[in-house]
Amino acid sequence: MAVQRMLQFVTKPKEMPSKRQADERREDFDEIYQEFAAEKAAEQASRCSQCGVPYCQAHCPLHNNIPDWLMLTATGRLHEAYDLAQSTNTFPEICGRICPQDRLCEGNCVIEQSGHGTVTIGAVEKYITDTAWENGWVTPGTPMAERDQSVAIIGAGPGGLSAADRLRRAGIQVTVYDRYDRAGGLMTYGIPSFKLEKSVVLRRIEQLEAAGVQFVMNCSVGEDISFDAIRGKHDAVLIATGVYKSRDLKAPGSDLPGIVKALDYLTASNRKSFGDDVPAYDEGVLNAEGKRVVVLGGGDTAMDCVRTAIRQGAASVKLLYRRDRENMPGSQREVQNAEEEGVEFVWLTAPAGFEGDSAVAGVVVQTMRLGAPDASGRRSPELIEGADYLEPADLVIKALGFEPEALPSLWGVPELTVTRWGTIRCDHATHMSSLPGVFAVGDIVRGASLVVWAIRDGREAADAILDYLAQPAAVAAQ
C-alpha cells in the first residue's frame, strides 16, 4: 500500500514552499521560506520514484536514507521519518535549511534528470524535523551508562558538535573548548538568520548541554589554555576549529578604510541580531546602510554578504565575479533569491585595485572572458585588455574564501603535521593526526567546505575515537 502512494511525479508537479515576497523579506532577517503544510509535504514526498539505486542518497555526504523517509512522510508516519533522518544526521533541521541541495541530493534526483522536476528533499527534511521539535520528539542524547574516559573537542562548529553528540550518547565525558562566547561556529556567527534562524542552532546546543556536554567558551587555545594542557586533561582530543583566516587581495589601495573582510561583516550583523554591543556596526564601519556596496567573490559567503547588505538598507549592492553564472561555486538558488531582492551580479569581472583618499570610493574593475578549462574543469577567466572601468563604492566586502591558521606554531606543537595548504594531515579512515590520540575533522582538514561534510567528519571521527579508547594500550601510551 505504501508503494502505491509513491511514484506520483508524473501527475504532481514539483512545488517548493512559498517564499515571502522580496519587498517584505528585504526588511528583516527572518527565514524566507514558509513551512510546508502537512498535506503538501506528503504530496511532494510522494513524488519520489523509489529508485533501486537512489542517486540522492549517493550524493549526500551523510548518505541519508532519503527515499525511505520520503515514503514515511508520504504515508503520514512522521515520527518514524524523523527517527530515520536523525539516525544518519545529527542536525537534519539545519541541513534542510542550508545544504545546497541543488548541488547535492536534489541536483542528482532521478526524476530531475528525466525532466519532471526534482523532489523537494530539503524542504521535506526541514518539515519533518520542525514537526519533530514541535511535538517533543527530539530529546537529549543522554547515555544509558557513563564512562570515565573524557574527550576534548576544540571548536564548537558543526564538526565538533556532531562528534560531541555521538560521543556523549556513548557515555564519554565531553568538553568543548571554543574561542567565541556562543557555540555553533559559523552556524551562529557566519550564516545569516534569513537562511538559518539562530534559535534553530541554539536549541541543539541546549540539548547537548542537557545531555551532559560541557562547554568552555571564550577560551582561545594557545592563549587561555595550552594545547598540551588540554591533552593532559583528556584521553583523546578532536580538533574541529574550522578555517577562519580570510584570503586577502593584494592590489593598489587594498588597505583603504571601507574595505572589510566578509566574516567580520557577517559576524557583526549576527551579533547585532543577538542584541550584542557592536561598536563597529553602530559606527558604520561594518554596516551597509545607505552605502554603495560591492562584494568580491562568488561562493556562498558572498551570497550571504550581498543579501545581508540589502537588509541593512544599502543604496545599491553589486557582486563582482570573474566567471559567469554557470561557472560560479555558489548555489544557483541563492543567486535567484539575491536577484529577487535587488542584488546586481556583474559577471566576468575582477578587481584590479581600489581608489579613494581617506576611504574607499571605488573599485577598479577588470573585464574578463572565459578561456580554456582549468584543472578543476571550469573555464579559466582571461583579462580583456583596455576594458577596465571604475565602479563607485562606499563599502567593499572581500568574500574570497578562507585559509587555515598556522595551528602548529600558534599552539606550540610543531610535531602536528600539516599539508602544504596548512590543513591538518590526517588518516582519512580514522581522522587521527600525526599525534597519537589527536584527531581532526571538518574544514581544518578539508579546507573551506560545507556544513554537511563537517557533520559527516564529526560522526566518523567520534566512532574512530570510541575505537581508540577501547584500546587500553593505545591510551596508556599517550
Is 26 part of a structural domain of the chain?
A: no
Q: Indicate whether 475 pLDDT > 80.
A: no
Whether 238 and 302 map to the same domain: the answer is no
Q: What is the mean pLDDT of residues 65-88?
A: 96
State the CATH number of the domain containing residue 375: 3.50.50.60
Is 266 part of a structural domain of the chain?
A: yes
Domain residues for the domain of 11 are 3-19+34-134
State the CATH number of the domain containing residue 52: 1.10.1060.10
Q: Indicate whether 52 pLDDT > 60.
A: yes
pLDDT for residue 113:
82
More confident residue, 201 or 328: 201
Is 299 part of a structural domain of the chain?
A: yes
Which of the four pLDDT bands, split at 50, 70 and 90, describes residue 268?
Answer: very high
Whether 127 and 177 map to the same domain: the answer is no
**Residue range 4-41, pLDDT digits in tens:** 476 677 668 788 899 999 999 999 999 999 888 888 99
Is 373 part of a structural domain of the chain?
A: yes
Is 140 part of a structural domain of the chain?
A: no
Nearest to 454 by CA among 212, 241, 236: 241
What gap in Å lies between CA 249 and CA 148, rounded to an integer? Answer: 49
Which of 364, 384, 400 is the last residue in one of the domains? 400
Is the distance from CB of 190 to CB of 268 less than 8 angstroms? no
Whether 392 and 274 map to the same domain: the answer is yes
Whether 251 and 211 map to the same domain: the answer is no
Three-state DSSP at 445 gives helix
Is 25 part of a structural domain of the chain?
A: no
Which of 134, 168, 185 is the last residue in one of the domains? 134
pTM for this predicted structure: 0.93
Which of 385, 400, 415 is the last residue in one of the domains? 400
The rounded mean pLDDT for the chain is: 94
Please tell me the total count of domains within the chain.
Answer: 3
What gap in Å lies between CA 189 and CA 242, rounded to an integer? Answer: 13
Whether 390 and 257 map to the same domain: the answer is yes
pLDDT for residue 137:
97
Is the distance from CB of 177 to CB of 154 less than 8 angstroms? yes
**Residue range 108-129, pLDDT digits in tens:** 999 888 888 899 999 999 999 9
Whether 95 and 171 map to the same domain: the answer is no
Q: What is the mean pLDDT of residues 32-51?
A: 90
pLDDT for residue 2:
43
Is 29 part of a structural domain of the chain?
A: no
Whether 423 and 379 map to the same domain: the answer is no
The CA R_g of the chain, rounded to the nearest whole Å, is 23
Is 142 part of a structural domain of the chain?
A: no
**Residue range 202-233, pLDDT digits in tens:** 999 999 999 999 999 999 999 999 999 999 99
Whether 253 and 373 map to the same domain: the answer is yes
pLDDT for residue 3:
43
**Residue range 302-354, pLDDT digits in tens:** 999 999 999 999 999 999 999 999 888 888 889 999 999 999 999 999 999 99
pLDDT for residue 11:
67
